[in-house]
Amino acid sequence: MKKGMSMRDSAIQVAAAVALAAALEASAASAQTADLSGVWLVDNSVGGPAGKMTQWTRQDPAFTPEGLAKFNANKPGKGPRQAPPAFGNDPLGDANPPGLLRTLVYFRPIDIIQSPDRIVQLFEYAHFWRTIWTDGRPVPDDPGPYWYGYSVGKWEGDTLVVQTVGLDARAWLDEWGTPFSEEAKITERWRRMNANTIQMTITVDDPRTFAKPWTSDPRTLRLQPKGSPNGEVLEVIFAPMDEKEFNDRVRNPAGGRVN
C-alpha cells in the first residue's frame, strides 16, 4: 500500500513536472515570439531588386488615374525616376518629415520598446516615433491626418498585426515618390521569426490611388546587438536651417541650379 502510494505520488510528481515544463516552455516561446523589443535594422541584402514604381514590391501595383497623376507629379531624387534634387519636389528636401511608410522602407535603425498596452517605435531616420496601441482599442474612424498615422495592433501568435490609418498624404510611400491618399488603410504584419529576425510586410488598401490592394515583398529586419555600430539609434534631425543652407551651398549648385 505504502509502495502503491509512493508510485502514485511519483506519477503525480512526474505529471506535474511535465506540465510545469510544458507551461514554462510555452511561456518562454510566447515571451520570445510575441516580443519585438530591441534595435532592428532592415537587411537590404535580402529581397533583391525592387520594381520600377515603389521600393516596397517588385510587382508594380496598378494605379488609378488619380494615383498615376500624383505619381507623375512627384519628382524624386532617388530610384528609377530620379532627377537632381535641385529640380525635384521631394518634401524631405525642405526638411519635412518623411512620414511612417517612407521611414519603414528606409535603411536606418528602429528601436522597438514594448509594454503591456503599447509598442513604441523610435525611428533614427529624422528622429521621430510612433505608438502602436495594443490595449484592445478599436481603430478610430477618421483620425489625423498624422505624418506617422494612428496605429492599433494585436498579436496573432508570433505576428503583430497593425492597422494604420489617418496618414498625411503629403508624405511619400517610399523614397521613390510613390503616392498614397488620406484614405489609405495600411495593414502591417511584424512576425518574429526567431531571436534575431523580424519579417514585415505592408498591405496597402487605398482605392483612390491603387486599382486594388497590394502587399509588399517581405522585408527582413535583423536585431542589432548592444555595442554594435547600429546597436542604438542616434540623433538624425533634419533641421530646416541646416537643410536650407545645404540646399543653397551644396545640393542646388551640385545640380546646376543657380540660387
Partner 1 sequence: MTPFTTRARLAALAMLTTGMMTVQVSGHHGTAASYDNSMKVTVTGKVTEFWWRNPHSALFIDVTDDKGALVNWSVEMSSPGVLTRAGWNRKMFVAGDAVSIVVNPSRAGTPAGVCLNPCTVTANGKGVSAREA
User: CB under 8 A: which stretch of 24-32, 85-93, 156-164, 199-207 binds partner 1?
Assistant: 85-93
User: CB under 8 A: which stretch of 7-15, 65-73, 139-147, 245-253 binds partner 1?
Assistant: 245-253
Q: Does 111 bind partner 1 (CB under 8 A)?
A: no
Q: Which three cell numbers stand for residue 195?
A: 531571436
Q: Does 234 bind partner 1 (CB under 8 A)?
A: yes
Q: Are 179 and 173 in contact (CB under 8 A)?
A: yes
Alpha helices in the chain (DSSP H): 2-33, 65-73, 100-105, 240-246, 252-255
String marking each residue 23-52 x if it binds partner 1 according to CB under 8 A: ------------------------------
Q: How many residues contact partner 1, by CB under 8 A?
A: 35
Q: Are 123 and 237 in contact (CB under 8 A)?
A: no
User: CB under 8 A: which stretch of 29-37, 88-96, 131-139, 191-199 binds partner 1?
Assistant: 88-96
Q: Does 83 bind partner 1 (CB under 8 A)?
A: yes
Q: How far is the CB of 236 from partner 1 (least distance, A)?
A: 5
Determine the Cα–Cα distance for residues 32 and 116; give it in Å rounded to an integer: 15
String marking each residue 170-189 x if it binds partner 1 according to CB under 8 A: -----x--------------
- Burial class for 235, CB neighbours closer than 10 Å (0-12, 13-18, 19+): exposed
User: Rounded to whole angstroms, what are the CA distances from 29 to 25, 57, 169, 200?
Assistant: 6, 31, 39, 20
Q: How far is the CB of 226 from partner 1 (least distance, A)?
A: 14
From candidates 33, 59, 74, 82, binder to partner 1 by CB under 8 A = 82
Strand pairing class (118-123; 128-133): antiparallel
**DSSP character for 85?**
G
Q: Does 259 bind partner 1 (CB under 8 A)?
A: no
Query: Whose Cβ is closer to partner 1: residue 8's or residue 87's?
Result: 87
Q: Does 5 bind partner 1 (CB under 8 A)?
A: no
Q: How far is the CB of 77 from partner 1 (least distance, A)?
A: 2
* Phi, psi (rounded to 5 degrees) for 217: -65, 150
Q: How far is the CB of 136 from partner 1 (least distance, A)?
A: 37
Comparing CA positions, the residue from 129, 103, 97, 126 lying closest to residue 202 is 103
From candidates 56, 63, 71, 106, binder to partner 1 by CB under 8 A = 106
User: CB under 8 A: which stretch of 29-37, 74-82, 162-170, 180-188 binds partner 1?
Assistant: 74-82
Identify any residues that bridge with 164 across adjacent strands, giving them in sequence order. 151, 186
Residues that bind partner 1 (CB under 8 A): 76-78, 82-86, 88, 90, 92-93, 95, 106, 108, 124, 175, 229-230, 234-239, 242-243, 246, 249-251, 253-256
